[in-house]
Amino acid sequence: MARIAIDAMGGDYAPRKIVEGSLWAAQEYGVGLELVGRQEDIQKELDHIRSVGYILSDCGTKGRQRKIKIDLDKIDYVITHASEVIGMGEAVGQSIRRKKDSSIVAAVNAVAQGRCEAVVSAGSTGAAMAASLFGLGRIHGITRPAIAVTLPRMDKPVVIIDGGANSDCTPGMLTQFAEMGVAYAKLSLGMDDPKVGILSIGEEEGKGNELVKETYPMLKQMHEDGKINFVGNIEGKEVFKDKADVIVSDGFSGNIVLKVTESCSLMLIKMIKNEFKSDIFGCIIGILAKPFVKRLLRRINWEGFGGMLLLGVNGISVIAHGRSSAYAMKNAVGAAVRVLNKDINTKISESINR
C-alpha cells in the first residue's frame, strides 16, 4: 500500500482539518498515511475523531456540512513527531535551514528516505517548495521545478505551468515547463496528445513580451521535432476556451491567471446573488436558483482540485491551498494519488534528457 506523508501542521486550519482531510483521503483512496508534526497535537485530533467516529466535510461551498464516517482502525497511519512549524510569513530559505525539525522538512524526508511515495502540505508554498527541492533534489536535467495547476473549464480542465514557483523565468525554463506540463496532463488527467500554448498578449508569433518572443520559436522547434503539440500564443481571453490543454507561463503571470480567475468567479457569483436581491420577485427566483448556483460553485471550487503538483523534483510533492478545509485536503491527497505508480518523474526525465 502506498503511503503519503502529510505535513500535519501546515495550513490555516492545521492540524485539525489537515488530519481530518488526510484520513478521509486515506479511507477513500486506500492509501496509508505518515502524519508529520507535533505528536501531541496530532494525537489529540485522532482521539477526537475516534471518540465521535466522524469528521465534518467542511466543503468550501458553504453547503450543509456532511458528516463523513471515519473508521480509524481500518486506516493505516503512523505519526512522526516533528517539533517545529514554519509559519506563513517566515523567510523561506532561513527557516528551512534553521528549523531542521519542522513538519514540512520532516514530511519531505519521509519521501526522501523511501517510507512514503508522496508528500502533501498546505503550509507556506515557499517553504513546501524549498523543502521539496532541498529534500528530494531536482530531476536530472531540470533547471527549475514548477507548479502545475489544474483549472476547471466548461468541458475539460486546463493545466497552467508555472503557477507561481518562479517569478522570473528564462526561455529554457519555459520549454521545460512545457515538457513537464505535457507529462502531467497525460498521466494525471489522461489527456492523449495535449495541446501546448504559451500565455501571451496577441495571437500571432512575435506578439508578447521578450520572454515569450524568445520562447516561441523554441517551442515551435519542439513541435517540429515531434516532442510537443504546440499551438502558439494563448491570450488571456483564450485561457477558458478549448485552444490549449497546457498553458506555459512564467510563474508571475501564471499565478495572476489563477488568482484572478478565483477572485473573478467569486465576485460574479456575489454579483448575481445581488441582482436576485434587487426585488421581491428576484428574491424568490434567487431562492429557487440556489441549488443551481451551489452546483456551479462546487464545479468551479478550487477545493475540488485540492492541490498543485510541484513538478521537476525527484518525488511527488503536492502543495495544497493555505486555506484548505478537510474537503480540500482530501482532494490534495487525491492529486498525489492520481500520479502514484504513474512514473511521472521517469517520464519527465526521459522527455527532458532524450
Closest contact distance (angstroms) between CB of 79 and a copy of itself is 32
Closest contact distance (angstroms) between CB of 329 and a copy of itself is 20
List, as one string, the DSSP characters of 230-292. Answer: EEEEEEGGGTTTTT-SEEE--HHHHHHHHHHHHHHHHHHHHHHHHHHTTSHHHHHHHHHHHHH
Half-sphere exposure of 329 (CA within 13 A, CB side): 37
The residues that touch a copy of itself, with contacts defined as CB under 8 A, are 89, 153-154, 164, 167-168, 199-201, 204, 208-210, 212, 235-241, 250-253, 255-272, 274-276, 278, 282, 285-286, 288-289, 292-293, 295-296, 299-300
Closest contact distance (angstroms) between CB of 130 and a copy of itself is 14
In the complex with a copy of itself, the residue whose CB is nearer, 70 or 196, is 196
Please give the DSSP secondary-structure letter assigned to residue 73. Answer: G
Least Cα distance to 301 among 245, 273, 261 occurs for 261
Closest contact distance (angstroms) between CB of 28 and a copy of itself is 26
Closest contact distance (angstroms) between CB of 330 and a copy of itself is 23
In the complex with a copy of itself, the residue whose CB is nearer, 97 or 241, is 241
Whether 272 contacts 293, CB under 8 Å: yes
- Evaluated on CA atoms 141, 143, 144, 148, the torsion sign reads negative
In the complex with a copy of itself, the residue whose CB is nearer, 218 or 269, is 269
In the complex with a copy of itself, the residue whose CB is nearer, 140 or 270, is 270
In the complex with a copy of itself, the residue whose CB is nearer, 89 or 190, is 89
Closest contact distance (angstroms) between CB of 310 and a copy of itself is 16
Q: Measured between alpha carbons, how far is 173 from 162 in angstroms, rounded to an integer?
A: 10
Please give the DSSP secondary-structure letter assigned to residue 303. Answer: G
In the complex with a copy of itself, the residue whose CB is nearer, 77 or 305, is 305
- Evaluated on CA atoms 123, 126, 131, 137, the torsion sign reads positive
